[in-house]
Amino acid sequence: MVSGQFTQVAAAPARARATVPAARAPWRRRLVRGAQPYVYLAPALVLLVVWTYRPLAQTVQLSFHSWNLLPTSPMTEVGFANYERLLSTPDMGDAVWRTVLVIVGMLPFTVVVPVAVALLSRRVRGRAGAVYRAMVFAPMLVAPVAGAAVWQWLLDPRAGAVNSLLGTQVNWLHEAGPAQAAIIVITGWHVVGFAVLVVSAGLTGISPEYAAAAQVDGASRWQILRWVTLPLLSPTIAFLVLMTVLLSAQWTFPLVDTLTQGGPSGATTTVYYLLWDYGFRSYDAGVGAAAGVLFFIGFVLVAAVLVRISDRLSHYDD
């Protein structure tokens, strides 16, 4: 009896030591399992910090300094002088207004025309449909600079094909109004194929049962399009509007730089080209950085509103 009690007492510490790792094991497994997603995301997060957030922080820092981009010239701290200069110059307001005009002019090419083309292309079946979509997307594959060179020849005021077809003598790239219209049309020609593919993908996600049910109830094609298809397609349309607002000025930049250099008389100078002009023509990196910060804040606010609207439309469809 005594020997049995002694054996139990001697075995108690061993059991205690054995239960400690067993108790800790689930906590360690949970830690490892919880860390696995972050391990997979680590490369992307590192690249995001290095190529996005770090340059953004450096831009904010540079916006409070004056620097002419020369390595031998030191940066001089100027406080909010760059922002005060931007807000007091008319170039800033003019560039914002021209950017708004570009966005409004691009909406038909990124929303209206793609929706119409995608709806019509649904009737094209088989290989013909694939060829049709490839032809629509082909301009997106053309390099903007190469496309600009061809369009410069087509828009030549004396021997250009555009004036020959229209029977006009418009100097498309050296008059304010025609230059703005030319930049918008050429940019729209480049991006319309991408927008058509986005709308086609959105239409693919709409179940045909909705249209079939509406047809059984006696709805016409127009009523099905107006009250079924377009409401279900509204998140895709909201996404295209968001892309247009955020990227229109960026899309036009290579064409503006190649065809008009911001002219005539600044008629095609958008916010992106104004940033480039401040930084690499005027050699005033501080003012360019300050303009970039202001434009970034403005686009973030606009994007937040559009994303909120898109989320509401998505919840409405659900």
Distance from C-alpha of 76 to C-alpha of 71, rounded to nearest angstrom: 13
Residues 6+ apart with CB under 8 A from 184: 102, 105, 106, 109, 252
260 shares a domain with 132: yes
98 shares a domain with 162: yes
Let me know if residue 109 belongs to a domain. yes
139 shares a domain with 40: no
203 shares a domain with 277: yes
Using an 8 Å Cβ cutoff, are 252 and 183 in contact? yes
**What is the domain extent for residue 11?**
2-44
254 shares a domain with 197: yes
Q: What pLDDT was estimated at residue 13?
A: 52
Chain segment 33-66, per-residue pLDDT in tens: 777 888 888 888 899 889 888 999 999 999 999 9
Cα 138 vs. chain centroid, distance in angstroms? 20
Q: What pLDDT was estimated at residue 318?
A: 54
Let me know if residue 58 belongs to a domain. no
283 shares a domain with 134: yes
Let me know if residue 173 belongs to a domain. yes
302 shares a domain with 181: yes
Let me know if residue 94 belongs to a domain. yes
Nearest to 275 by CA among 96, 119, 152: 96
37 shares a domain with 94: no
- Residues 173-197 as b or e (16 or more Cβ within 10 Å = b): bebeebbbebbbbbbbebbbbbbbb
Distance from C-alpha of 51 to C-alpha of 31, rounded to nearest angstrom: 30
40 shares a domain with 116: no
Domain count, the chain: 2
We report the CATH number of the domain holding residue 284 as 1.10.3720.10
165 shares a domain with 101: yes
Q: What pLDDT was estimated at residue 97?
A: 92
Q: What is the pLDDT along the chain (318 residues), one digit of tens a residue?
A: 444 554 454 454 555 444 445 445 577 777 777 778 888 888 888 998 898 889 999 999 999 999 888 888 888 899 899 999 888 888 888 999 999 999 999 999 999 999 998 888 877 777 777 787 778 888 888 888 888 889 999 998 887 888 888 888 888 988 888 999 999 999 999 999 899 989 988 888 888 888 888 888 888 888 888 888 888 888 889 889 989 998 898 899 999 999 998 888 888 999 889 888 888 888 888 998 999 899 889 888 988 888 888 777 666 555
Let me know if residue 218 belongs to a domain. yes
Let me know if residue 64 belongs to a domain. no
40 shares a domain with 183: no
303 shares a domain with 195: yes
Chain segment 104-162, per-residue pLDDT in tens: 999 999 999 999 988 888 777 777 777 877 788 888 888 888 888 899 999 988 878 88
Q: What pLDDT was estimated at residue 285?
A: 87
